[in-house]
């Protein structure tokens, strides 16, 4: 909203404001500061309110050191994270940007699902919370919304050379001539509708989902690409959202990792939306995605601010209200900037947490069926509890997982040139 206010004031007697609001980095910095202030200042009031309503975490005794001490710690703190993301984004981002609107929808949608899940657990005293099928249904619907938007919205475009646009017969929305400042050559470009995405580790790092339907003529494949694209998007949104939820088991673990992941995605969004950077790095130039840096900054600020109260020993838990939302936003963000194939690397901690649960459950069922008694691969899953069972202090586990997340983030950035 401030963007439009500054724009109005710049046009009506205060032209120097144009030097502020038009810079994405300025608005991103303000979003980071504002989200931090909201989290830290309002956090204590929200925690007090949750305590007054006796909205406390119900802890089952799993034999973990210090676990029962967390009994009654306020939960549903994800409301604070959501508030700290949405307010700066609404105030400082361009609200006519389709990508910003899509991320706002993701935040509200998954926040509602997570809130309902926590509400049932806390107020209805049902430890299972929202039925798994309804939770998955909500994530599938969101994945469908993201997929359909990416496929059909006219503002979702990719810049390619005019020659490439004509070769593959992409739907051209705009054609223009530009000077490539990297090579000093004049190049004809076109904004097109396409299902192109970036592929890491390969020189020609582009994949068109339509080419997966190799057995069809390309023109026909483009019409039926949704058969591949939509399920992939639904799977990514559902998988990452649930993986973040599984990771939220130790004080500050999911919050810190989410901030690291979003910082990386913010960098990728900025270079993808910058002509010079995209040309230099030989990645897809995605018009208007640079604006996502404002949302990413708000997300990072919300997570860091939440750590003020969520770091060990936690004064509040985010609950499913926060964890489902953080995971879903990360998935949608990666899809929007067409870096979804980097998720297994960038979100490696989330991936390992999910795999540890799947391996544990599968092996337990297999051995119970074969030997009459269930056996386990890990002392406990998700894997962060395995290390707790081995006697490693909770704060040390969290810090080491953060270090691994930082390493994976660095490797993800390196993939921009490592191919």
pLDDT averaged over the chain?
Answer: 88
Contact 298, 89 (CB under 8 A): yes
* Closest to 335 (Cα-Cα) out of 282, 273, 255, 265: 265
What's the alpha-carbon Rg for the chain, to the nearest Å?
A: 23
Distance CA 369, CA 134 (A): 29
CB atoms within 10 A of CB 411: 16
CB atoms within 10 A of CB 222: 22
For residue range 51-61, what is the model confidence (pLDDT) as tens digits? 887 666 666 65
Q: Is 380 helix (H, G, I), strand (E, B) or coil?
A: coil
The domain locations on the chain are: 24-156+226-414
Q: Would the pLDDT of 110 be above 80?
A: yes
Helices 226-247 and 132-152 cross at an angle (nearest 10°) of 130
For residue range 62-99, what is the model confidence (pLDDT) as tens digits? 666 656 567 778 888 999 999 999 999 999 999 999 99
* Closest to 198 (Cα-Cα) out of 349, 419, 408: 419
For residue range 201-249, what is the model confidence (pLDDT) as tens digits? 776 678 889 889 888 888 888 889 999 999 999 999 999 999 999 999 8
Distances (CA, A) of 53 to 56, 116, 260, 359: 9, 16, 33, 39
Alpha helices (H) along 248-380: 253-272, 275-281, 292-310, 319-336, 343-346, 348-371
The model's pTM is 0.93
Q: DSSP letter at 97?
A: -
Percent of all residues in the chain with a pLDDT value above 90, rounded to a whole number: 60
Residues 365-373 have a mean pLDDT of 89
Give the pLDDT of residue 66.
Answer: 59
């Amino acid at each position: 909203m401030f963007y439009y206010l500054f724009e109005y004031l710049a046009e009506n007697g205060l032209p120097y404001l144009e030097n502020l609001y038009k810079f994405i980095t300025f608005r991103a910095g303000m979003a980071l500061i504002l989200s931090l202030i909201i989290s830290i200042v309002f956090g204590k009031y929200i925690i007090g309110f949750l305590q007054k309503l006796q909205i406390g975490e119900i802890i089952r005794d799993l034999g973990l050191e210090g676990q029962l001490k967390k009994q009654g710690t306020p939960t549903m703190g994800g409301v604070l994270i959501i508030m700290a993301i949405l307010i700066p984004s609404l105030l400082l981002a361009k609200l006519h940007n389709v990508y910003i609107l899509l991320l706002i929808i993701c935040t509200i949608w998954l926040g509602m699902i997570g809130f309902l899940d926590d509400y049932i657990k806390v107020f209805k005293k049902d430890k299972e919370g929202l039925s798994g099928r309804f939770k998955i249904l909500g994530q599938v619907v969101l994945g469908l919304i993201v997929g359909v938007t990416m496929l059909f919205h006219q503002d979702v475009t990719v810049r390619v050379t005019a020659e490439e646009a004509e070769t593959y017969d992409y739907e051209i929305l705009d054609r223009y001539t530009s000077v490539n400042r990297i090579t000093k050559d004049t190049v004809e470009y076109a904004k097109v509708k396409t299902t192109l995405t970036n592929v890491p580790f390969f020189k020609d790092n582009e994949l068109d989902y339509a080419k997966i339907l190799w057995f069809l003529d390309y023109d026909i494949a483009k019409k039926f690409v949704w058969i591949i694209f939509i399920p992939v998007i639904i799977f990514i949104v559902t998988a990452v959202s649930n993986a973040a939820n599984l990771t939220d088991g130790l004080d500050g673990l999911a919050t810190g990792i989410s901030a690291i992941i979003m910082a990386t995605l913010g960098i990728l969004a900025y270079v993808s939306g910058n002509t010079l950077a995209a040309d230099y790095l030989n990645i897809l130039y995605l018009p208007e995605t640079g604006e996502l840096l404002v949302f990413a900054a708000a997300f990072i600020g919300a997570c860091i601010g939440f750590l003020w109260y969520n770091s060990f020993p936690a004064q509040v838990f985010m609950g499913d209200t926060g964890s489902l939302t953080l995971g879903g936003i990360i998935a949608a963000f990666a899809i929007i900037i067409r870096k979804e194939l980097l998720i297994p690397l960038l979100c490696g901690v989330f991936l390992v947490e999910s795999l540890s649960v799947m391996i544990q459950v599968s092996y337990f069922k297999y051995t119970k069926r074969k030997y009459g008694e269930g056996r386990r691969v890990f002392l406990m899953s998700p894997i962060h509890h395995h290390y707790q069972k081995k006697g490693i202090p909770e704060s040390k586990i969290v810090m080491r997982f953060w270090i691994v997340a930082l390493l994976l983030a660095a490797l993800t950035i390196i993939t921009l040139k490592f191919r």
